[in-house]
């Protein structure tokens, strides 16, 4: 007797909590993301801006539809989610900061990308190790490890003695890191493997005997530039003897054999589907006047498709100073995408430095509607395809240049306020010019290329800014108006304000 088929699963009913200002737009978005798996229901708690609510207000005003499976609060909501879960008896979570990101949010949640995994070993070179002290080498090695390096490559300089080579190898290994030594001097390579180095860069069919002097794994290269057959003879010799190795056909600079060198990697992989292959990227990243995030994204695509096993990254030129962290992020995103059978899109966007796929969180029409509802003097700033918007109860102004906005703001006598608005509108101008997402009082996101303490890249930690002290004097002046606004029936009672009194009104 055939098994009885399981009944179709009910769509998950998710309450999207919002306020009156955002409700119409959120309702449209909810319709876009409704499918067989998700049934979003928009719930207006009867306040203007849901992100400014406290847990107490939510407990008092929120009425959940029957059958609600979980509740999604605005990303900027600061209340205690655990407390709300206990009170309502269903799971609570925070959504994205911008409601425009809800479709991506639900797609990414279903995909559940795991960026902890990868299958590419990352070598990071200290090109001037010869002239550095051992302490200096160790400090650099620690920094490179923090950016994602698995192996520290000690670069040896031609005609420059490296008397502390053995000591440097031991010191790095004492940090729990593997070490490779990169030299054209066979004597230095022999010293390195006898000192216990993990890898040697580089040996060819004529110098492969050095590998027998110690435990280091050689990285094999052609004896003559571009000679793939020479590399293959070295590979065959290692396979016959059981000697572990990496093979590197050498990536050449653009206009000096770049395309042919890529074809060599493809041909090597065709001839040897299972051998470990390393690609050094410095000849392209260092010798091209272009941002390395895009270059590394393309190179990682080649590595991922050909299933190459290791990469050697260099950070000599200042414009390449984030190459290691970029490749660390790239190997994780591309691995997750490949495992999911997907394009490398929507897996974190760590290499999206200069532009965003969705630079505008709201349309000019959305901002005009919000501006018309503002009843206080605090300035709100937004960016749409129409330009930089700045608005309060006294007016709504749009321009591409912050200097065109300043005459309308009437803050000539308030230095602190003028300074703040100058900083924010300058940041908005950068976002508008490049096509990046802007959110008032928050830094622009630069992907891994701009990771700094307190950067938007740290947002996954789910920490929230405390209300600041900027412009407290003005807020005291506006207290009467603010009190009126808070007391209005549609406003959140006792809601906290951001530093400028700006309502983050793009939330669900």
The per-residue DSSP string of 381-439 comes to EEEETTEEEEEETTEEEEESSHHHHGGGT--TT-HHHHHHHHHHHHHHHHHHHHT----
Structural contact between residues 306 and 269, judged by C-beta atoms closer than 8 angstroms? yes
Distance CA 142, CA 145 (A): 5
* Helical (H) or strand (E) element with 173: helix 165-174
Predicted pLDDT of residue 396 = 96
pTM given for the model: 0.75
Each residue's pLDDT tens digit in the chain (508 positions)? 455 555 567 889 999 999 887 888 888 888 888 888 889 999 999 887 777 788 999 999 999 999 999 999 998 888 999 999 999 999 999 988 888 788 878 875 544 568 999 999 999 999 999 999 999 999 999 999 999 999 999 999 988 999 999 999 999 999 999 999 999 999 999 999 999 999 999 999 999 999 999 999 999 999 999 999 999 999 999 999 999 999 999 999 999 999 999 999 999 999 999 999 999 999 999 999 999 999 999 999 999 999 999 999 999 999 999 999 999 999 999 999 898 888 898 788 899 999 998 899 889 998 998 899 888 899 999 999 999 999 999 999 999 999 999 999 999 999 999 999 999 999 999 999 999 999 999 899 899 988 654 443 443 333 334 433 333 444 444 444 433 333 333 333 333 333 333 333 333 3
* Residue partners of 91: CB distance under 8 A and separation at least 6: 69, 70, 71, 85
The tokens 């003897």 sit on which residue? Answer: 241
Residue spans per domain, the chain: 12-111, 121-339, 364-487
| CA distances in angstroms from 22 to 13, 27, 489, listed in the order given | 20, 9, 16
Beginning with the edge strand found earlier in the chain, give each strand of the sheet holding 199-203 in spatial order. Answer: 246-247, 217-220, 199-203, 178-182, 151-155, 121-126, 310-313, 278-280
Beginning with the edge strand found earlier in the chain, give each strand of the sheet holding 70-73 in spatial order. Answer: 38-44, 12-18, 70-73, 92-94
Structural contact between residues 17 and 50, judged by C-beta atoms closer than 8 angstroms? yes
List 122's β-bridge partners, or say none.
311
Predicted pLDDT of residue 5 = 58
3.30.70, 2.60.40, 1.20.140, 3.40.50: CATH of 12-111: 3.40.50
Burial class (CB in 10 A: 0-12, 13-18, 19+), 318: exposed
* Residue partners of 366: CB distance under 8 A and separation at least 6: 25, 384
Q: Considering the domain delimited by 121-339, tell me its CATH architecture.
A: Alpha-Beta Barrel (3.20)
- What is the token pair recorded at 141? 């090695």
Predicted pLDDT of residue 130 = 95
Predicted pLDDT of residue 501 = 37
| CA distances in angstroms from 108 to 10, 44, 52, 263, 345, listed in the order given | 20, 25, 26, 35, 10
- Beta-strand relationship, 387-392 and 380-384: antiparallel
């Amino acid at each position: 007797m055939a098994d009885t088929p399981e009944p179709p699963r009910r769509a998950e009913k998710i309450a999207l909590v919002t306020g009156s200002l955002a409700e119409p737009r959120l309702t449209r978005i909810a319709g876009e993301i409704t499918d067989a798996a998700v049934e979003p229901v928009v719930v207006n708690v009867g306040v203007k801006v849901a992100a400014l609510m406290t847990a107490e207000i939510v407990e008092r005003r929120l009425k959940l539809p029957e059958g609600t499976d979980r509740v999604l609060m605005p990303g900027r909501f600061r209340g205690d989610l655990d407390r709300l879960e206990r009170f309502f008896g269903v799971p609570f979570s925070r959504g994205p900061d911008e409601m425009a990101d809800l479709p991506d949010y639900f797609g990414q949640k279903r995909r559940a990308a795991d960026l902890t995994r990868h299958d590419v070993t990352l070598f990071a070179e200290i090109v001037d190790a010869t002239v550095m002290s051992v302490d200096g080498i160790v400090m650099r090695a620690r920094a490179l490890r923090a950016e994602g390096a698995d192996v520290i490559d000690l670069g040896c300089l031609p005609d420059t003695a490296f008397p502390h080579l053995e000591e440097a190898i031991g010191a790095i290994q004492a940090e729990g890191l593997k070490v490779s030594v990169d030299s054209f001097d066979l004597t230095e390579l022999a010293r390195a493997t006898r000192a216990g180095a993990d890898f040697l860069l580089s040996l060819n069919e004529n110098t492969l005997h050095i590998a027998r002097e110690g435990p280091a794994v050689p990285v094999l290269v052609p004896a003559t530039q571009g000679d793939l057959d020479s590399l293959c003879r070295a590979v065959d010799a290692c396979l016959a003897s059981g000697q572990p190795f990496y093979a590197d056909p050498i990536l050449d600079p653009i206009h000096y054999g770049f395309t042919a060198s890529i074809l060599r990697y493809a041909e090597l992989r065709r001839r040897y589907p299972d051998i470990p292959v390393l690609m050094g990227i410095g000849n392209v990243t260092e010798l091209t006047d272009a941002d390395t995030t895009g270059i590394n994204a393309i190179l990682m695509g080649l590595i991922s498709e050909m299933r190459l096993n290791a990469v050697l990254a260099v950070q000599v030129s200042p414009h390449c100073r984030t190459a290691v962290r970029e490749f660390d992020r790239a190997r994780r995103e591309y691995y997750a995408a490949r495992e999911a059978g997907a394009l490398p899109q929507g897996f974190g966007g760590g290499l999206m430095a200069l532009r965003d796929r969705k630079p505008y969180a709201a349309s000019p029409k959305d901002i005009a509607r919000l501006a018309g509802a503002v009843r206080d003097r605090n300035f709100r700033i937004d960016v749409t395809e129409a330009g930089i918007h700045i608005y309060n109860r006294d007016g709504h102004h749009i321009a591409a240049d912050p200097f065109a906005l300043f005459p309308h703001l009437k803050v000539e006598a308030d230095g602190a306020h003028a300074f703040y608005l100058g900083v924010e509108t300058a940041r908005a101008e950068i976002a508008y010019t490049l096509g990046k997402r802007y959110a008032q009082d928050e830094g622009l996101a630069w992907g891994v290329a701009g990771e700094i303490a307190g950067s938007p890249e740290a947002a996954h930690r789910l920490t929230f800014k405390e209300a600041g002290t900027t412009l407290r004097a003005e807020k005291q002046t506006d207290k009467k108006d603010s009190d009126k606004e808070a007391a209005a029936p549609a406003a959140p009672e006792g809601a906290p304000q951001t530093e400028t009194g700006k309502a983050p009104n793009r939330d669900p």
